[in-house]
């Protein structure tokens, strides 16, 4: 970080506990990523608001992280301020809408797994697709996280955001949200959401969660560092995993970056892979799949940094 930015550091450090030149590999499931010039983990919405206000005044670029589970951060890291929202958690609340539908209020930093547990405990259906999906609510909504059996857009009712321009909080209703496959078009910062779930039989919900989780644990490399599925599934035809598998790429390696042996759409960091290793392997996979099937695989994982 340039020495001229000392002012930025001391100003922002008055608002939040600030880390300087902090390695981002500590905050990503890939365990990859160079330093953030400045890193803050605000404890509440007000602290986040004060940080953003100052950063805007000082013209410091701000990058947001949630659980860091779908991110590939460059080896040079990220300039400016990185804000991680995982500490913006809440007591999950429930408001009855009618006898079948229930709306729950969640915060950006609530873990998806915590919200799934709440749903099971209250016999609420709708989140079964998210069983075993890591990360936070904020990240899951930003990425429209999902599986073939459901995605966040199907249950989000409204989101509460911090407007990046006005630095004020506002609510955006679902009808005004532009969700697409693994994406929400949004520049503002999510701080919370309301989700609509349905009352259903506890036995059925619990069984569904259990089956989804078991399926995931047996078909995916859940205990190895990765960012989940690396490529988007093509709109029709074979899935990315099938294409990569049939191209004979399972086990393909560049240094410590490897195409998983258990699920070909996972690129795993088997020890000390760099972002460069992952990107070279990604390119190799894209080229081989393209040569064999004439399909261009697109990255699902978000790449951040310079
Ligand atoms: N397959 C292979 N070889 C492989 C992997 C998969 O032949 O190495 C075949 C499977 O046998 C199956 C088909 O490909 O016939 C689809 O595989 P799978 O059921 O695993 O689903 P997927 O489309 O690869 C999607 C999501 C996953 C999610 C699973 C849950 C995407 C890109 N991926 O995977 O999400 O967990 O469904 O069923 O939508 C993620 O988004 O990070 C992620 C992992």
Q: Is the pLDDT of residue 239 over 50?
A: yes
- Whether residues 170 and 108 share a domain: the answer is yes
H or E stretch at 4: none
Instruction: Report yes or no: 193 and 160 within 8 Å, Cβ to Cβ.
Output: yes
Q: How many domains does the chain have?
A: 3
Q: How far is the CA of 302 from the centre of ligand 1 (A)?
A: 18
- Residue 148 located in a structural domain: yes
- Structural domain including 196 reads 93-205
Residue 285 Cβ contacting ligand 1 at under 6 Å: no
- Whether residues 233 and 288 share a domain: the answer is yes
- Whether residues 116 and 51 share a domain: the answer is no
Q: How far is the CA of 195 from the centre of ligand 1 (A)?
A: 25
pLDDT attached to residue 1: 52
Domain boundary pick from 179, 205, 231: 205
pLDDT in tens, 33-81: 999 999 999 999 999 999 999 999 999 999 999 999 999 999 999 999 9
pLDDT in tens, 174-229: 999 999 999 999 999 999 999 999 999 999 999 999 999 999 999 999 999 999 99
Q: Is the pLDDT of residue 157 over 50?
A: yes
Residues 245 and 252: their CA atoms lie apart, in Å, by 10
- By DSSP bridging, strand 62-65 and strand 78-84 are parallel
Average pLDDT, the chain: 95
Nearest atom, ligand 1, residue 129 CA:
30
Q: Which of 47, 151, 182, 304 is catalytic?
A: 182
Q: Is the pLDDT of residue 2 over 90?
A: no
Is residue 229 annotated as a catalytic residue, yes or no? yes
- Whether residues 172 and 247 share a domain: the answer is no
- Whether residues 196 and 120 share a domain: the answer is yes
Residue 299 Cβ contacting ligand 1 at under 6 Å: no
> The domain that contains 231 carries what CATH number?
3.90.78.10
- Residue 211 located in a structural domain: no
- Which residues share a beta bridge with 36? 22, 78
Q: What is the pTM of this model?
A: 0.94
Structure confidence at residue 8 as a pLDDT band (50, 70, 90)? confident
Residue 260 Cβ contacting ligand 1 at under 6 Å: no
> The domain that contains 165 carries what CATH number?
3.30.465.10
- Whether residues 62 and 119 share a domain: the answer is no
Structure confidence at residue 100 as a pLDDT band (50, 70, 90)? confident
Structure confidence at residue 243 as a pLDDT band (50, 70, 90)? very high
Structure confidence at residue 155 as a pLDDT band (50, 70, 90)? very high
Structure confidence at residue 13 as a pLDDT band (50, 70, 90)? confident
- Residue 38 located in a structural domain: yes
Is residue 182 annotated as a catalytic residue, yes or no? yes
Nearest atom, ligand 1, residue 264 CA:
8
> The domain that contains 43 carries what CATH number?
3.30.43.10
Question: If you take atom 43 of ligand 1, which residue's CA is the nearest one?
Answer: 229
Residues 191 and 115: their CA atoms lie apart, in Å, by 15
- Residue 200 located in a structural domain: yes
């Amino acid at each position: 970080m340039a020495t001229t930015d000392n002012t930025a550091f001391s100003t922002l450090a008055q608002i939040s506990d600030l880390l300087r030149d902090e390695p981002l590999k500590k905050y990503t499931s890939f365990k990859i990523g160079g330093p953030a010039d400045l890193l803050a983990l605000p404890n509440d919405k007000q602290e986040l608001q004060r940080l953003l206000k100052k950063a805007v005044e000082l013209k410091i670029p701000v990058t947001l992280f949630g659980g860091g589970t779908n991110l590939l951060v460059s080896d040079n890291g990220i300039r400016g301020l990185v804000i991680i929202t995982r500490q913006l958690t809440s007591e999950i609340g429930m408001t009855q809408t009618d006898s079948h539908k229930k709306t729950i209020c969640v915060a950006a930093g609530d873990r998806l797994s915590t919200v799934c547990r709440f749903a099971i405990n209250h016999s609420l259906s709708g989140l079964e697709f998210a069983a075993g999906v890591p990360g936070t609510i904020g990240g899951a909504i930003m990425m429209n996280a999902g599986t073939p059996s459901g995605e966040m857009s199907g249950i989000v009712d409204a989101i509460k955001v911090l407007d990046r321009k006005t630095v004020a909080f506002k609510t955006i209703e679902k009808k005004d949200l532009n969700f697409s496959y693994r994406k929400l078009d949004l520049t503002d910062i999510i701080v919370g959401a309301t989700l609509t779930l349905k009352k259903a039989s506890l036995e059925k919900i619990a069984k569904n969660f259990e089956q989804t989780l078991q399926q995931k644990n047996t078909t995916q490399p859940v205990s190895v560092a990765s960012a989940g599925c690396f490529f988007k599934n093509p709109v029709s035809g074979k899935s990315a995993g099938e294409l990569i598998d049939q191209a004979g790429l399972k086990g393909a390696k560049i240094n410590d970056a490897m195409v998983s042996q258990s699920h070909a759409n996972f690129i795993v960091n088997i020890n000390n892979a760099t972002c460069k290793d992952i990107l070279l392997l990604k390119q190799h996979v894209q080229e081989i799949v393209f040569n064999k099937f004439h399909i261009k695989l697109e990255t699902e994982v978000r790449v951040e940094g310079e």
